Amino acid sequence: MRTHVRTAGALSAVLALAVLAMVYYAQHVLLLTPCELCLWERWPYRIVIVLGVLAMLLGQAGGRVLLGLAALVLLVGAGIAFLHVGVEFQWWNSPLPECNGMLTPGAPLPMMPDRPCDAPAYLIPHLPLSMSAMDFLFELTCAVVLLAYVLRKPRRFK
């Protein structure tokens, strides 16, 4: 069965939209306060929605290129999520001053985060995967699948 670029674009956009809907549900209904890195992790999904819709509209012409860009954006997102997982496991400090309560030049007091970036948020009780770890696994998987789709040789049907 042949998957069309329009379908792949729509699926990419819908999956990214579903992830954003889930994190907004966790934030506003379950009252899980996001840290600054959590907010950064949302940007790749917003970009993938736009790229997926554009790929759907363009079809074969430029759609494959846009889906390739979406896969690269997802890899960047997986990198941000991995950075956040490392902060949660205290492998390293967050590069964002908002996460560390560091003194910012020109500011009289250090900025204090609403939620520290090294405090993992768990969405599913008794599942030892933080939301950042789930995000890393999801984005990495989606990026690999999308890259495999984009890089495969298109079949010509007679």
pLDDT in tens, 32-58: 888 888 889 999 999 999 999 999 988
Res 1: pLDDT: 36
Contacts of residues 31-34 at CB distance under 8 Å and 24 or more positions apart, as own/partner, are: 32/121, 32/123, 32/131, 33/114, 33/115, 33/121, 34/115, 34/121
Q: pLDDT tens digits, residue range 69-115?
A: 999 999 999 999 999 899 888 888 888 776 665 545 555 544 455 66
Tokens 């966790």 sit on residue: 26
Q: What is the CATH number of domain 5-151?
A: 1.20.1550.10
| Closest C-alpha among 81, 111, 107 to residue 97 | 111
Q: Quick one: pLDDT at residue 83?
A: 92
Which range of 110-114, 118-122, 143-147, 150-154 scores highest in mean pLDDT? It is 143-147
Coil, strand or helix: which one is 12?
helix
Q: Residue range 4-10: average pLDDT?
A: 89
pLDDT of amino acid 109: 46
What is residue 52's three-state secondary structure?
helix
pLDDT over threshold 90, residue 62:
no
Whole-model pTM?
0.82
Q: Locate the domains of the chain by residue range.
A: 5-151
